Structure 1
Amino acid sequence: MKKFYIRTFGCQMNINDSQKMSGMLKTLGYEPTNNWEEADVILVNTCSVREKPDQKVLSALGEFKKVKNKNPDAIIGVCGCLAQRAGYEILQKAPYIDMVFGTTNIHHLPQLLEEAKQGNKAVEILEEIDENENQLDSYPTVRDNKYTAYVTVIRGCDKKCTYCIVPTTRGKERSRRIGEIIQEVQWLVEDGVKEIHLIGQNVTAYGKDLGDVKFYELLYAVANVDGVERIRFTTGHPRDLDINTIKAMADIPQVCEALHLPIQAGSDKILKAMDRGYTQKEYLEKIELLKKYIPDIALSTDIIVGFPGETYEDYLETVKVVKEVKYDQIFAFKYSPRPGTPAADLKMTEDPKTLSKWLTDLINIQKNIAFEKNLAYEGKKVEVLVEEEKDGKLVGRSRTNKLVYFEGKHNLLGKLVDVKITKANRFSLEGTINEKELQLI
C-alpha cells in the first residue's frame, strides 16, 4: 500500500485543506503515515503570514529530501500560501521538489501527482481564482479528531491590512453556497461529528459576495441540522461582526460562548497605519456588546507588537486593551515584514531587543489574566465534549474552549458531559464527573 505524509503549517484553513488533500489521497489508494521516512508522497502545506513559518518550511524540506535516498520514486510537494507567493523561488532553493501548487488549485492534486510520477516537475500556481475550486469540498476529510470538524464557508479576504499577505495568497472573498455547506455538515454529522467549526480568512464576511444570505443566517441553518451539538467559528474581522451575529450567538443553543476577535494593536495611530478600519473605542464597543448578550463569553485575540511607527506609548495602548478586555487567550507576535505588502518597506521604530521585551512583558501580563480567569472555574460545572484519552485521562473542551482533563470511562468519547472543576492550571482545567451521572450516559 502506498503511503502519504502531510506536514501542515499555519491556520485552521490550512489544516482543513490538508484534511481534504488527505481525503483525495485516500481516494487515490494511498494510506496516511506518521513516519515521513516511509512515505511515497510527502506534502508540505505552507503558511506565509510570518517569516518564521517560511524558514521552518525550508528546514523541513531539507530533512524530507532524505526520503529519496531510500525511495527515489518518492514525490515531495509544496502547496499552500508560501507556494502561492513564492513557489518558483522555493523550487530554485529546493530543486529536488517534484510538485508546487498554490491555494486556489488544491483540487488539481490528482493530476499534478500523476504528472510528477511520470518524472516531470508539476508546477501550477494560478494567478486567477479557479472557478472549480469548490470541487475540493466534495472530498472527504481525514481528521485526527473524530468529533469536531472544520468546515470552510468562505475563502479569501477583501480587507487591505497593510501588513497582511493573505489577500495575495488567498485572493478575494468567495463564499460557498449555503446548500453545499449544509450538505457537508450533514455528511460530517453522519460520520460522528458533534462540533462544527466554521472557518474562513474572514468568516463573518460570509455571504457579502453572494448578496442573498448573511453569516448569522448561516449560523441558524447549521444549527438546524440534526445532530449538530456545538458550533464555533473562526476568524472574523471586527468590522464585520454585527449586532445580528451577536444576537444569533446568544440565541442559538449550539453556538459556544467563545470568540476570537483580532485587534492587532491598541493604538488608534497604529490601527490606522495598519488600515484596520476601526478605532480602539469602536473595537471595545463590540466587546461590550458581546459581553452584554453573552455574559460568560471567552475571548481571544491576535496582537502584533512593533509595527513600523509604534512607540512605547502606542504599545501601552495595547496593554490597556488587554487588561480591560481580560482575554482568555492572546496570540502575540513581533511584527514580521511580508514581501509584497504595503508595510514591507516601512522603517522599524524600535530595535529587536526592545520589541522582544515588549512582547515578553505583554505575554506575562496575559498569563496572569488567563490564570485568574481559569481560577474562577474552580468548584463550577462545565459542559465538556470528550475528544480523546491521554495519559490515562479523558480530555475535551468546554464551551468556552478550555482544555479539561478528568478521569472517566472509554465509552464517554464523543459525549457531552458535565465536569466539576477541581483544579485550575494556567492553560487547562482538571475535574471530576459524578459516577451516578456516568451511568445515565
Structure 2
Amino acid sequence: MEDIEDLVAVGGAPPGFRLPLTAVGVNLKKKKKQSSKLNGSVDSTKLSPSSNNIPGTQTIYVKTFGCSHNQSDSEYMAGQLSAFGYSLTDTPEEADLWLINTCTVKSPSQSAMETLITKGKAAKRPLVVAGCVPQGSRDLKELEGVSIVGVQQIDRVVEVVEETLKGHEVRLLNRKTLPALDLPKVRKNKFIEILPINVGCLGACTYCKTKHARGHLGSYMIDSLVGRVKTVIADGVKEIWLSSEDTGAYGRDIGVNLPMLLKAIVAVLPTDGSTMLRVGMTNPPYILEHLKEIAEVLSHPCVYSFLHVPVQSGSDAILTAMNREYTVGEFRTVVDTLTELVPGMQIATDIICGFPGETDEDFSKTISLIKEYKFAQVHISQFYPRPGTPAARMKKVPSNVVKNRSRELTSIFEAFTPYSGMEGKVERIWITEVATDGIHLVGHTKGYIQVLVVAPDSMLGSSAIVRITSVGRWSVFGEVIETLTQSDAQSSPIKKPSLKGETSPFDSPCGSNSCSREADSCACEGESCGQKVPEEESIASRKDVLLEERSSRYLISWVLKKRRSQVKDRVENGIGLGNVVKQDSRWKGKEWGSVDRALLGGILLSFLTVVAVLVHLGITASARA
C-alpha cells in the first residue's frame, strides 16, 4: 500500500477537534483479494454496519514499547482517543482495537511487538501500529494488513482508529511539521509529565536504527515548551521530564541551545520546589561547550542533580567504529566537570558489549572506566545488529564472547555499593509513584536517588523530609519525618527537624544536594539505564515488620500501643506533639483505616455495653433489696 500523504490544508483543525473524514485520505479496500485479507485480521462482526460502529464508543488497548519519548507519544494518543469518547483499558481481551506503539532500538523489543501483532491478528482484533518500527521499516511483513500512524502523525490517531474500526487499512507516515504540544493527554502517572523538546538527532551512529524513524533534528520553540510547562504545573504535575533522542542537541536547528531552554523553564517553576525538573539523555558532543551553564542549571534547587550521559565504550577505537563523535577523554571531561560543579551530582551511563571489532583490550578499557567511576546506574546491553544500519554489515564478535563480556561487566557493576554511608542522613524527597512491591511509595532525592518509604497513598505527589534507615544496591529506605505542604516550603526554605547530633544538608527551597524509576531512555542508545524498584530487596527489608503489623492488626492493645509509640518517638526526637498531627496523616480521623475505625468503634461499643449491664445489675439489685 502506498503511504497516505497529509491532505489537510495548512493550519488544519485546531488541536482536539476531529478533521472531516474526507480529509483523512484513506485507501479503501476495493479488490476482493484485499478484502478477504483484511477479514482475516479483524473481526468482521464488529465492523459490520449493524454492529456497534458509532465512532468514540469502542474500547482501546494501548501498549507501549521503548523510551520515554514513546511513552509521551502514547499518552498524547490516549488523550485524544479519550477526549473523543473512546474508553481505554489495560486488558487486551476487553478491547475492540489494539494500538501498539513500537520501539526499534533492539531486537527483543521488536520481537515482542511482532508477537503481540500476531496475537492480535489471531484474536481478530483491528490493529493500529505506531512508533519507530513502522516509521523506519514500513515494509515489514508483520505490518501487512494493519493500519499505521507515524511518529509525527500522532495528532491524527483518532482518524486512523475510526477508519480501522470500519475495516479500512490506513497509513499516515509522511509529514514535515511537529505535532502540537497542547494536545489532550492521559498520563500514565498523573504526577509526571514527559515533555518532548525535540525529535530526531544530529548523530549518525552506525548501529542506530532510530535515526531512520525519528529523522533529523527538529526542535520545538522555547515559548511553546515554556507554555506547556506552565500548563502541566497548573494540572498538578510534580515532575517534568525533558525527553528526546538527544536533549543536548536541542535548538541547534532553530538558533538556540539547551541552556537557554533550561533557564527559561526554571524561571517558571514554582519557587516552593513542589515541581521538579529532570533533564533527559544527553550525548557528550553537544554539551561540551555548555558544561558550566548546564552545571549551573543542575545545581538549581528545583532541578534534579542527575544526568544520563551514554559512553557506550571505554575504547576510542570502538567509539570511532560507532561514529559517536567524541572520545573517552571528552566523556571524562563531561563527568568530571559536572561532578565538580554540581553538589551531589549523579550520572548514569550506557555500555554496549560486543560491538563489531571489539577486542579483549577494548573491553578491558571499558571495565577500567566503569571501575574508576563506579556509576550508580549503568545500562549494559549486548550488541544487536539492526537491519539497514552500517554496523549490521560489520564482522560480528562471536555471540558467546558477547554474552560472557556482558555477564562479566554486569557482575562488576552489581558489586558496587553506591549508597553506602547514607544511613542516618536526612533528605528531602519528592514522592511520585507506588513501588512494584505494592508496599512502598517511591520518592527521589535531589540527586535522583530512589528512596522507598512505607506511607499512605495520600502522600503521592507530595514532598517530605525523610531519614535514611538502610541502603540496598538499587535504592535506599527511609522513614518519613515530616510531610511538606506548599505553605511549609514557601514559609521557609526547609523545615529543619530538631535531630540531636545531625546537621541538615538543606540550604534551598528544593532540598538536599545529595537517583527510580528510570533514567530517560535513549532511543538511540538502548532502552533505559534507570534503576529498578527491587521487589525482592524491598520486601525482604520490611518483611518482619509487615508480618508483625498484619498479625497484630486485630488486637486492640496493638492499636493503642502503636499510637502511644508514635507520640513517644516524635517527642524523643524533639518534634512537638502539636506537629504529630501535621506530620502523620493517619492521625487525621478522616484518614484512619477502616480496621482502625472498626476497632475503636468496637472499644466504644464494648464500653457502653459494660456500662449498660452494670446499670441493669444495679437496678435489679436495688429492686430486690
TM (norm. structure 1) is: 0.92
Q: Distance in 2 between matches of 1:402 and 1:226?
A: 21
Counterpart of 2:86?
30
* CA shift digits 1:102-137 (9 cap, x unpaired): 2122222122223223321112232xx422x323x2
Q: Structure 1 residue 292: deviation in Å?
A: 0.7
Question: Are 1:234 and 2:280 counterparts?
Answer: yes
Counterpart of 2:349?
301
CA contact (8 A) 1:157 1:166 kept: no
Counterpart of 1:361?
408
Q: Distance in 2 between matches of 1:94 and 1:215?
A: 37
Q: Distance in 1 between matches of 2:96 and 2:423?
A: 49
Unmatched tracts of structure 2, length 5 or more: 1-56, 482-569, 584-625
Q: Structure 1 residue 326: deviation in Å?
A: 1.5
CA contact (8 A) 2:61 2:97 kept: yes
Question: Are 1:15 and 2:102 counterparts?
Answer: no
Q: Distance in 2 between matches of 1:10 and 1:263?
A: 20
Q: Structure 1 residue 240: deviation in Å?
A: 1.1
Question: Are 1:177 and 2:225 counterparts?
Answer: no
Q: Structure 1 residue 66: deviation in Å?
A: 4.2
Letter in 2 for 1:82: V
Letter in 2 for 1:225: V
Unmatched tracts of structure 1, length 5 or more: 69-73
State which drifts further: 34-43 or 404-413: 404-413
Change (3 A) 1:194 1:438: farther
Counterpart of 1:260?
308
Counterpart of 1:47?
103
Q: Structure 1 residue 203: deviation in Å?
A: 0.6
Change (3 A) 1:377 1:64: farther
Q: Distance in 1 between matches of 2:111 and 2:74?
A: 20
- Alignment partner of 1:291: what SS? helix
- Alignment partner of 1:374: what SS? coil
Q: Distance in 2 between matches of 1:368 and 1:76?
A: 44
Alignment of 1:309-388 (within 5 A): 309-348=357-396, 350-369=397-416, 372-388=417-433
- Alignment partner of 2:70: what SS? helix
Q: 2:158 aligns with which of 110, 118, 129?
A: 110
Letter in 1 for 2:264: A
CA contact (8 A) 1:65 1:96 kept: no
Question: Are 1:93 and 2:137 counterparts?
Answer: no
CA contact (8 A) 1:85 1:168 kept: yes
CA contact (8 A) 1:4 1:31 kept: yes
Q: 1:433 aligns with which of 476, 480, 488?
A: 480
State which drifts further: 221-230 or 255-264: 221-230
Q: 1:393 aligns with which of 440, 443, 447?
A: 440
TM (norm. structure 2) is: 0.65
Q: Distance in 2 between matches of 1:208 and 1:12?
A: 22
Change (3 A) 1:145 1:438: farther
Alignment of 1:121-160 (within 5 A): 121-126=169-174, 129-131=175-177, 133-135=178-180, 137-160=181-204
Q: Structure 1 residue 251: deviation in Å?
A: 4.1
Counterpart of 1:408?
455
CA contact (8 A) 2:202 2:249 kept: no
Counterpart of 1:206?
250
Q: 2:324 aligns with which of 271, 276, 280?
A: 276
Q: Distance in 2 between matches of 1:438 and 1:5?
A: 45
Letter in 2 for 1:6: V
Higher strand share: 1
* CA shift digits 1:140-183 (9 cap, x unpaired): 22112122211111110111111111221101111101111111
When Rg is computed on C-alpha atoms for both structures, the one with the higher figure is: 2
Q: Distance in 2 between matches of 1:220 and 1:150?
A: 18
Change (3 A) 1:108 1:266: same
Q: Structure 1 residue 389: deviation in Å?
A: 4.2
- Alignment partner of 1:433: what SS? strand
Q: Structure 1 residue 427: deviation in Å?
A: 1.6
Q: Distance in 2 between matches of 1:152 and 1:375?
A: 35
Counterpart of 1:71?
none
Q: Structure 1 residue 282: deviation in Å?
A: 1.4
> How many residues in Structure 1 have an aligned counterpart in Structure 2?
425
Q: Distance in 2 between matches of 1:93 and 1:225?
A: 46
* CA shift digits 1:178-200 (9 cap, x unpaired): 11111111111111101111111
Counterpart of 1:217?
260
* CA shift digits 1:391-419 (9 cap, x unpaired): 34332222322322112344322111121
- RMSD over aligned Cα atoms: 1.8
Letter in 2 for 1:65: K
Q: Distance in 2 between matches of 1:405 and 1:438?
A: 21
Counterpart of 1:80?
131
Change (3 A) 1:245 1:336: farther
Q: Structure 1 residue 439: deviation in Å?
A: 4.6
* CA shift digits 1:189-245 (9 cap, x unpaired): 11110111111111111111111x321121111112243621111111101112244
